[in-house]
Structure 1
């Protein structure tokens, strides 16, 4: 296994990795806090959360397996050469585990808080079902000859696919509502920061090793950063440019009334809504 050639670059790599971990990990909290304060998840797309849980679960399995498994290490070095470094750091494993936990908490909030007329789409349920069925089939294919590197590569491909797909429902919902009320922009700003530092971390490793193998040896991490940055920019434009100071349309609000004061639980489009975290 290769070692670092430059101590300053190694330190930079570790700092960037933990900055990415902190940014991405904290990015889950603004939405959780916003949901808690409003006691409502209106404006948060449920498909986004369910697809996100699938994405982070598959990414956790990939990261933990590639980081901890000696058998997978041997298969990786056999494929890419013994002079290469394992392209997964401990901060990647820590982030994935934390992401699964916080996404599960957000899903729990969806179950207990005011949802208005929003529901989970059948398309999302179908996608998640197909994904895990595919993963199960691939496991039994890999089992006889212990093709574990191939199996986790499949899971890595799944997380990349989910990264691309998961943002689309929220982008479309914001477009239909002409508003980002209920969707935390704090989440997006931190996610953007995490994507940039995560990509920079891989660049530093490549510079030190004078090799770009870690990019295609862990293409999922590369695409995770780039796709996240791309969609984060879209959300930032929606929030600060296209739908700035615009309130949500009534089509996604609940018709239920608060029994005590007679006011709608979710305010209509001409009323002031809580600001995003």
Structure 2
């Protein structure tokens, strides 16, 4: 095994650990405070769907001979760059996201005080059900295709395309999942309740993930290792853009800020306040 192969393995382990650990700080922070105030369920809820899709996507690429054969037919005989640590990461992330979501949807079970952020926003619910509907449409389209099980046809609808539909669900969710919390922090003029440690670990994981994928593609002498696996490439880049926004909010804009007199924990907070009043 050469130096680059060793580095790829080390980076894979490193990003797996960094990203996996990033799912603990917020749930632990909520548990210590016995509250989810200052944060919103939108992020962990949509994250749960995203990582469910990402797990199925990675597992199929890694274990399914049919999917691997269809990938090779479409990308000049190459094999997917998905590795076992991708599957382990996705499974772990799904479980931790579901646990964190339960702190918002089932606050009484955790002994938490009620919070406006426990109710998902219409925006996130729309994205959630829109993604599920989109994948269902693609699956039915593949089922209707006579070439769905082909390992030679690359232009017709095949099961590989259904897997890509799942990958784009993860892409869409990655693009929007942080937005509600960014808005909540802006409205509150504070990052109180939002754990910065999850962001710092996410940045580290993103850098290591992109480094590993670049090395793997270089070793294959073909950058379709990235273009053929767009979800992993975008996962590292887009997340780091949002991470930068959170770090600016936490360390620059709202440093030492105690928050507004009335914390708003979700995009629906104002509507909820009117109902209560």
TM-score range relative to shorter protein: 0.7 to 0.9
Over residues 167-195 of structure 1, what are the superposed CA-to-partner deviations in whole Å (9 max), with x where a residue is unaligned?
11111111111111111000000011001
Say if 2:237 is the partner of 1:226: yes
SS in 1 for 2:177: helix
User: CA RMSD of the aligned region, Å?
Assistant: 1.4
TM-score by length of 2: 0.86
Query: How far off its partner does 1:253 sit?
Result: 6.6
Alignment of 1:104-253 (within 5 A): 104-110=98-104, 111-112=106-107, 113-118=112-117, 119-144=119-144, 145-146=147-148, 147-252=158-263
Over residues 2-46 of structure 1, what are the superposed CA-to-partner deviations in whole Å (9 max), with x where a residue is unaligned?
xxxx62211111110110000000001111110110010111221
Contact (CA 8 Å) 1:56, 1:159: kept in 2 or not? yes
Say if 2:64 is the partner of 1:65: no
The answer for unaligned runs of 5 or more in structure 2 is 149-157, 266-277
SS in 2 for 1:251: coil
Residue in structure 2 matching 1:101, options 95, 98, 105: 95
Contact (CA 8 Å) 1:180, 1:243: kept in 2 or not? yes
Contact (CA 8 Å) 2:184, 2:264: kept in 1 or not? no
SS in 2 for 1:250: coil
**Residue number in structure 1 paired with 2:49:** 54
Once superposed, which parts of structure 1, at least 4 consecutive aligned residues long, lie more than 3 Å away? none
Count the aligned residue pairs.
248
Contact (CA 8 Å) 2:68, 2:79: kept in 1 or not? no
Over residues 59-96 of structure 1, what are the superposed CA-to-partner deviations in whole Å (9 max), with x where a residue is unaligned?
111111111111000000000022x2311111110000
Greater alpha carbon shift after TM alignment, 179-188 vs 104-113: 104-113
Over residues 211-249 of structure 1, what are the superposed CA-to-partner deviations in whole Å (9 max), with x where a residue is unaligned?
211010101110110001111011011101110111122
TM-score by length of 1: 0.86
Contact (CA 8 Å) 2:57, 2:163: kept in 1 or not? yes
